[in-house]
Amino acid sequence: MTLIPVESDKKTIAARFRKAHSFAFLDEGQVFIQENPHKTSKSPEFFEYFKTLNVDTLYIKELGYKTLLTLLDLGVTVYLIQHAEKYNRIKPNELLLLDANNAKEYCSLGHDDKEVK
């Protein structure tokens, strides 16, 4: 299942993943929206919740480096949305796969020490 963080209008892609108002879930052509109950939670609580969502792919606008490493450790494939503002305008061929090779360049939120594990 793919997750996209969205704003309160439930269409605009949220700038932040963990602090997003809601999440859009894409599963076999179906889309459903669920409010993010952990937008103010600390990292451990948020990721305990996240593990229950059965997400294997994440599309995001911005992400912190440590958050990316946590997601990769959980087996989540993470793509950077570079051009779309609304989730229904995302074009898969315009997404950038984030990994340890490009994380330092694209995952800049909140962390200065970007040591690749």
pLDDT at res. 110: 61
pLDDT at 116: 45
- Where do the domains of the chain lie, and which CATH numbers do they carry? 2-106 (3.30.420.130)
Low-confidence ranges of the chain (pLDDT < 70): 109-117
β-strands 77-81, 57-60 pairing = parallel
Q: Express each pLDDT in 44-72 by its tens digit.
A: 999 999 999 999 999 999 998 989 999 99
Q: Which residues contact 26 (CB under 8 A, 6 or more apart)?
A: 1, 2, 3, 4
pTM of the model: 0.87
